[in-house]
Structure 1
């Protein structure tokens, strides 16, 4: 069994057509067919159900494809890792991060990092908490920026920053002229929230519970800008961290004096997984960046 055979198999499995696959691989269709027949003979099973020039991956083929994809990804990752070791300042960093963290903090960190290391590239995945941790555990990303989570063996979490959470109300709201409120003062209001599974949604429900009420959630969204837009339209109130880009003429930000409304954000990685040099470089940079912010 040869590497080239596995590459051919992966393309045919995806396209399920010999002629199209041969064109993509820049080989003749008969040569491709012979290669797949040889692979099936070596394995002792059929991987495809053939229908003329078209083929359909069968159950055995699907099982084999999953393994081939995984093996080839490992090899490709290894090649990329070797390349990065030869040029650690021109690699790629993959990061999954909380939706709300990407509005103001992460762009500033990356911009600062890229001024120092301009050739490092980033692959960014903005997701809710329920998606981020599985991405890290499956090694789909190098690092993730996430709030505290339950015990997860083999995962390191390093606190970066603590953010205050505010109540945002429409500019003509009865509380809009106040600087601060107790959270119980908006107990009867319609709430605009993130969807279940998002860290901000979990915090909102926790803070409201500490204030003695359950939030009346009327709208659920995916990002801070949508939540702020709905608040500015007078459709409700929300609890989110401070961020830029909001129209202050349409909404008001109120500090919460009771209960204590803050969240922790940290950086997580797999303890026994050796990070690519560029990712290791960024890990050190972001930790020092926020350590410096805390000393200001």
Structure 2
């Protein structure tokens, strides 16, 4: 069975007239008749009922026509998808990112990119850093935007921007009256942390670990805003990036006196994976913004309003 035979049958099924179908296909009527006869011979059934003046689908032809419509429709859809995938101004880019970046940073980046290439589509996931890397290795996403704290073979990484880390304490904590606090002081209080696998947990563990400290973790979660709620309830302290506090009368943010209390947000991708032109364009856009980043850049601006989750 040849692909053209299906196209010939579809045209004939639509008009149910050999002459008009042949004209639609730019074929001679005898050539169309031979094509349909060959198709019927291969299938072993009569697809058409013919008389001297008319032609109509047999019950087998009606049944087969439904399948042919689906087959040809899927083929056209596949062609369209391939053409879009090869078009840098179209296609789909799949990214995974920290939940913290979903309130401001990622929407701002996507909005600015789509202003340049409005026909590009995005598929978005929010994950822990470990899950992002898993998705990259499984080729489920094109990029991860995260604080990359776990190296993996075959994954490339480019820094985008940095965020300062702060201490968050309850209003009635003895630490709340201080202008700044040390890691040593934080380790002496009940500590609220994210689960292992989140980059913010890795960063926190490393900050304490380099001083030989081990905080008393009383809660492990996945959402920074839940951590802020627990702090507001007086249940512990935490180390987080700059986050919006909906209860400033209950949570106090303090500067950490220890050096290098920062996290770097960057872009990760699978090195041997061939990216679509749209994905290549998005990567070039992000790296170009990084290179042009200033105090007034659209990448650095969201840092002051991001809620973080690690």
Q: Are 1:208 and 2:216 an aligned pair?
A: no
Correspondence for 1:132: 132
Segments of structure 2 that go 5 or more residues without pairing to the other structure are 1-59, 64-76, 297-310
SS of the residue corresponding to residue 236 of structure 2 reads coil
Q: Is the 8 A contact 2:204 2:239 kept in 1?
A: yes
Alignment CA distance shift 1:189-1:111 (3 Å): same
Residue in 2 aligned with 1:228?
228
Q: Is the 8 A contact 2:149 2:202 kept in 1?
A: no
Contact 1:184/1:212 (<8 A) preserved: no
Change (3 A) 1:112 1:178: farther
Work out the number of aligned pairs and report it: 227
Alignment of 1:1-296 (within 5 A): 80-86=81-87, 88-244=88-244, 246-294=246-294, 296=296
My pick for the range that moved more, 272-281 or 158-167, is: 272-281
> Does the CA-based 8 Å contact 1:109-1:289 persist in structure 2?
no
**CA shift in 2, pair 1:176/1:245, >3 Å:** closer
Give the structure-1-normalised TM-score. 0.68
Q: CA contact under 8 A between 2:149 and 2:199: conserved in structure 1?
A: no
What secondary structure is seen at the aligned counterpart in 2 of 1:282?
A: helix
More displaced stretch, 131-140 vs 180-189: 180-189
Query: Per-residue deviation at 1:275?
Result: 1.3
Give deviations 1:137-195, integer Å, cap 9, x for gaps.
11100111133355533321111112111111112222223332111112221111111
Distance 1:222 1:295 in 2: 31
Distance 1:203 1:121, change over 3 A: same
- Which structure 1 segments of 5+ residues have no match? 1-27, 32-75
Give the CA deviation at 1:131: 0.8
Distance 2:219 2:151 in 1: 31
**Distance in 1 separating the partners of 2:78 and 2:163:** 35
- Deviations along 1:108-133, one digit per CA (max 9) or x if unpaired, are 21222233333322211111111111
The question of whether the paired residues in 1 share the 8 Å contact of 2:194 and 2:222 is answered with: yes
Q: Over residues 241-285 of structure 1, what are the superposed CA-to-partner deviations in whole Å (9 max), with x where a residue is unaligned?
A: 112354322211111111421112211112232211221121111
- The answer to whether the 8 Å contact 1:104/1:244 transfers is no
Q: Are the structure 2 counterparts of residues 78 and 228 from structure 1 closer, same or farther at C-alpha, using a change threshold of 3 Å?
A: farther
CA deviations 1:180-232 (Å, max 9, x no partner) are 21111122211111111111111111112234321111111111111111111
How many Å separate the matches in 1 of 2:78 and 2:269? Answer: 17
* Cα gap change, 1:149 to 1:228, in 2 (>3 Å): closer
CA RMSD of aligned residues (A): 2.9
Contact 1:207 1:259 in 2 (8 A): no
Separation of aligned partners in 1, 2:132 and 2:187: 31
Between Structure 1 and Structure 2, whose CA radius of gyration is higher? 2
Equivalent position SS for 1:293: coil
Q: Is the 8 A contact 1:81 1:276 kept in 2?
A: no
